[in-house]
Amino acid sequence: MTNKDIHFSKLLMDVYASPTATLKYPNISNWDFSPFGLTEQDLIHSVYLVFDQVLKLPELYHISITQAQLYDFIIDLASVYHNQNPYHNFAHAVDVLQCLFYMLCELGVLPFTNKFLQKSKPQSLLRPKDVFALLIAAIGHDAAHPGINSSNPLATLYNDKSVLESLHAMTLFQLLNKHGIDRLVGDSKSEAYKVVSSILATDMSLHNDYVSKIKEQANRFNNTNSHLDEQDERNLLCSALIKCADISNVARPFHWGTKWAELLVQEFISQGDLEKQMGLPVLPMNDRTKVVLEDSQINFIKFVALDLFQNVANVLNEIEFAADQMKKNLRRWESRKKNIEYEQEEFDIVSNSSTTHMIMVETGIKRSSSSLDLQHHDVKRRPSIEKYPVNNTDDRDAPVYCQCSIQ
């Protein structure tokens, strides 16, 4: 028996042998969900529970897929994620999938037995096969990404952007084929296949163009005289939902948003450390001496995420709750920043009046001090920056540097 077989048997035992097994995962239906603290087995089971809801749909009955087949696919998919990455790992994929699942439930699209979904609503364009394609895209959207953020200097050393962009899709479709699940998605000419590929191929660097398209879509839905091309509108809705899900950390309850933000910065500065070692220029967002957690979150929400969510909520009103939570989170980050600035002023007054020797590094984020008390004070002010380990590229367990789009 291989390790994988043993792993699979344990999973089956967990699911079938324990009558209370499903009670372990009540929070996949909760916006307060987080994958933190879940084992890989728990994560795999959470994914199974989401897909199980969709595969029970009468519209997809013609495709028979066994529970074992589905599990085997999820286990394989989990194994191609680079879990050494602080951020872009299988837990992130599960988080994106759960977010999408939650939003689809809020929209009344799931469960499909929902009799209250009005035909006039934009989300009524989403059919079971589109939802299946969306969920597949969500769980596979960062599969096997080995690389570097393509906007960073290190990427230009050896990355061919077009190859990297198709890597997630290639890996995902190979696994779908291997496990006989590609029949659900169809061949390369099918609509569902096109939905999955177009979602995976969407270039997030074109964020502003993308937000403009969603604004236009809101106008079309609000103007009864507009001509709607159903397939185009459907594709845009699918992309909108998955893009929101991909950056939904900033719309989660603040305690989870903070944790995700720290992990993301950790991944970025690991990349920056490597770029420095190689003598390459380093973007401020990847530079441990320049990055400020609060600023990165405030700017990301203000200039990227809020605009996207608010415009999507103009089309799909039910996701307004996420934009509201994001605004609350923004206020929390802003108040944290003010407190830090206040503490910094206090700190400067104390340090100027003492004999302490201080070294300000460029933006003043990092300091060293001969005073243990002041060092402690400093660590308290910047816990999420100070605790990041300096990356050692000779270390086999070093993070795999992951390409990311916006986040």
Query: Residue 325's closest CA among 240, 256, 254?
Result: 254
Q: Which two tokens stand for residue 42?
A: 């728990």
Question: Do 167 and 145 form a contact (C-beta atoms < 8 A)?
Answer: yes
Residue 246 contacts Zn ion per CB under 5 A: yes
Question: Cβ of residue 72: shortest distance to Zn ion, in angstroms?
Answer: 24
C-beta atoms surrounding 290 within 10 Å: 19
C-alpha to C-alpha distance for 57 and 171, rounded to whole angstroms: 27
Active-site residue, from 7, 45, 88, 145: 88
90 is in an annotated binding site: yes
Residue 267 contacts Zn ion per CB under 5 A: no
Nearer to Zn ion, 106 or 246 (CB): 246
Q: Which two tokens stand for residue 372?
A: 């243990």
Binding string, residues 142-161; x marks residues near Zn ion by CB under 5 A: x-------------------
The window from 50-58, 134-142, 143-151, 287-295 that contacts Zn ion (CB under 5 A) reads 134-142
Query: Residue 95's closest CA among 167, 23, 27, 20?
Result: 27
Q: Which two tokens stand for residue 148?
A: 């570097």
Q: How many residues bind Zn ion (CB under 5 A)?
A: 2
The question of whether 88 is a catalytic residue gets the answer: yes
Question: Cβ of residue 400: shortest distance to Zn ion, in angstroms?
Answer: 14
Query: Residue 190's closest CA among 253, 111, 136?
Result: 136
The window from 39-47, 242-250, 295-303, 364-372 that contacts Zn ion (CB under 5 A) reads 242-250
C-alpha to C-alpha distance for 211 and 191, rounded to whole angstroms: 24
159 is in an annotated binding site: no
141 is in an annotated binding site: yes
In 79-220 the beta strands, taken as DSSP E runs, fall at none
Question: Cβ of residue 191: shortest distance to Zn ion, in angstroms?
Answer: 24
The CA-CA-CA angle for residues 332, 324, 245, to 5°, reads 100
Residue 287 contacts Zn ion per CB under 5 A: no
373 is in an annotated binding site: no
88 is in an annotated binding site: yes
Residue stretches of the annotated binding site? 88-92, 141-142, 246, 297
Binding site for Zn ion (CB under 5 A): 142, 246
Binding-site residue numbers for AMP are: 88-92, 142, 246, 297
Catalytically annotated residues: 88
